[in-house]
């Protein structure tokens, strides 16, 4: 196997594994820029994946599954918003509670509804998102270097993968070039000044939370309708926490978020590709160590190797309107 083919295989796996991380990290970007800390990304992704798997199986439609995932994830986001924005509760506790509740309830409901040991029935091809072949793929395949990159790396992904990467510039434009983005960032930095200008801080934060729910729902739908053929118990496997680490690593900026997620996705792809292959000068590495690589990097980065990451000043602080 030549170097180019090896690179393309590893890069293609990196893109696939990075897709849910990018969507979840961008989801956290919107809510945290609004001043609401959200550790419940994991629970919303898992809830969305469960809803997508169930509805796609019943309706035999990937789009119906995607819509169900978004609805469930947005509802969970609104629960978090009600607890942390309206009731001014502890945002960490609210997010952790959502993670625990979803992790337990999905298993119970899945077993009660389908009796398949903590998973939904396997989805047929029509109920899943299929790979898309971009125009001129076959015509360009024979072109040296650029042809294989276009045919094997850029082409051949599901629609949700392309959507995830398109959401990176879209998120940048929304946050930095629109009135909504300016107000959202202002709410996360100085909510008192925003309130003085006659803008509802509560409503702006709820809008950020809803954006988070939509993106988490898409990330969950990707897991069960594109990356897999249905929902399985604990299929998020900590991806919500890794996305949160990528968001902090990228210092709450959309484009660095994408590169941080690609880094985590690369480590995951590397672990899968080489977990049983002896490495030069090292030999065969235990499978458990290879599988732990993304989580080890998470701990290392958050331990202080990323420089000083300054979150939005009003992040995690409930807003109390001055009388």
Dump pLDDT digits (tens) for 15-42: 999 999 999 999 999 999 999 999 999 9
In sequence order, what DSSP letters do the residues of 9-64 get, joined into one string?
HHHHHHHHHHHHHHHHHHHHHHHHHTT----THHHHHHHHHHHHHHHHHHHT-HHH
Region 114-139: mean pLDDT is 86
Tell me the domain boundaries of the chain: 2-302
Q: Which CATH architecture has domain 2-302?
A: Orthogonal Bundle (1.10)
> Where does the pLDDT of residue 288 fall: very low under 50, low under 70, confident under 90, or very high at 90 and above?
confident
Percent with pLDDT over 90 in the chain:
54
The residues pairing with 157 across neighbouring beta strands, listed in sequence order, are 132
> Where does the pLDDT of residue 286 fall: very low under 50, low under 70, confident under 90, or very high at 90 and above?
confident
How far is the C-alpha of 64 from the C-alpha of 221, rounded, in Å? Answer: 10
State pLDDT tens for residues 40-86. 999 999 999 999 999 999 999 999 999 999 999 999 999 999 999 99
How far is the C-alpha of 239 from the C-alpha of 234, rounded, in Å? Answer: 10
Q: What is the pTM of this model?
A: 0.93
Residue 316 has pLDDT above 80, yes or no: no
Which position has the token pair 């100085």?
190
pLDDT greater at residue 172 or residue 126: 172
The two three-digit tokens of residue 31, written as one number: 């809510």
State pLDDT tens for residues 239-264. 999 999 889 888 899 999 999 999 88
Residue 205 has phi, psi (to 5 degrees) of -65, -35
Residue 241, helix vs strand vs coil: helix
CA distances for 113 relative to 28, 68, 109, 120, 235, angstroms: 31, 17, 6, 9, 18
């Amino acid at each position: 196997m030549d170097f180019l083919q090896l690179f393309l295989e590893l890069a293609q796996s990196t893109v696939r594994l990075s897709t849910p991380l990018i969507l979840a990290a961008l989801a956290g970007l919107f809510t945290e820029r609004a001043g609401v800390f959200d550790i419940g990304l994991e629970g919303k992704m898992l809830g969305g994946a469960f809803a997508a798997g169930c509805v796609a199986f019943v309706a035999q439609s990937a789009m119906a599954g995607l819509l169900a995932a978004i609805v469930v994830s947005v509802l969970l986001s609104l629960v978090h918003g009600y607890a942390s924005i309206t009731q001014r509760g502890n945002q960490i506790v609210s997010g952790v509670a959502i993670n625990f509740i979803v992790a337990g309830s999905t298993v119970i409901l899945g077993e009660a509804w389908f009796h398949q040991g903590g998973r939904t029935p396997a989805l047929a091809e029509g109920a899943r998102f299929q790979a898309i072949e971009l125009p001129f793929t076959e015509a360009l395949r024979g072109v040296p270097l650029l042809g294989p990159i276009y045919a094997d790396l850029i082409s051949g992904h599901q629609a949700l993968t392309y959507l995830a990467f398109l959401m990176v510039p879209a998120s940048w434009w929304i946050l930095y070039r629109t009135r909504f983005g300016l107000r959202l960032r202002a709410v996360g930095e100085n909510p008192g000044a925003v309130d003085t200008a006659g803008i509802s801080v509560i409503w702006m934060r709820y809008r950020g939370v809803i954006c988070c729910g939509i993106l988490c729902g898409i990330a969950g739908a990707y897991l069960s309708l594109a990356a897999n053929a249905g929902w399985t118990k604990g299929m998020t496997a900590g991806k919500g926490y890794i996305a949160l680490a990528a968001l902090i690593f990228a210092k709450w900026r959309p484009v660095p978020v994408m590169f941080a997620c690609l880094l985590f996705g690369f480590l995951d792809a590397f672990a899968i590709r080489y977990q049983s292959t002896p490495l030069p000068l090292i030999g065969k590495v235990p499978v458990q160590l290879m599988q732990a690589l993304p989580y080890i990097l998470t701990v290392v980065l958050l331990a202080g190797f990323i420089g000083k990451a300054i979150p939005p000043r009003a992040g995690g602080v409930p807003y109390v309107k001055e009388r």
